[in-house]
């Protein structure tokens, strides 16, 4: 029960902080101006390199698990890595 309260509290704090960030600190007119001037080639390249790093990290995680003589499918490793990355980026640390 205490674990669930802690988890929900962290999610609530994250939501409040994100709301504060986007509502009070972001100037959307300037942001839209910058987004309009972005070269799409660099955005696509960054997405490709990001996905390559995620696939490499998921493969590394699968390899570490295999050292322990346990089987983990690459798809499961990739899914778990994405879930972990999401929580790492959007929830405050404990």
pLDDT digits (tens, 9 = 90+) for 55-75: 999 999 999 999 998 998 999
Q: Helices in 21-39 by DSSP H: which ranges? A: 28-36
pLDDT of res. 62: 92
Q: Is the whole-model pTM more than 0.75?
A: no
pLDDT digits (tens, 9 = 90+) for 15-45: 898 888 888 888 888 888 999 999 999 999 9
In eight-state DSSP terms, residue 94 is: -
Q: 8 to each of 1, 3, 4, 5, 13, how far by Cα in Å? A: 11, 9, 6, 5, 9
């Amino acid at each position: 029960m205490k674990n669930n309260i802690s988890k929900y509290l962290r999610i609530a704090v994250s939501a409040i902080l994100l709301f504060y960030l986007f509502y009070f600190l972001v100037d959307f007119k300037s942001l839209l101006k910058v987004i309009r001037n972005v070269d799409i080639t660099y955005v696509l390249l960054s997405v490709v390199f990001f996905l390559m790093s995620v696939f490499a990290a998921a493969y590394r995680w699968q390899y570490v698990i295999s050292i322990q003589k346990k089987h983990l499918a690459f798809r499961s490793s990739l899914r778990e890595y994405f879930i972990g990355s999401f929580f790492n980026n959007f929830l405050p640390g404990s």
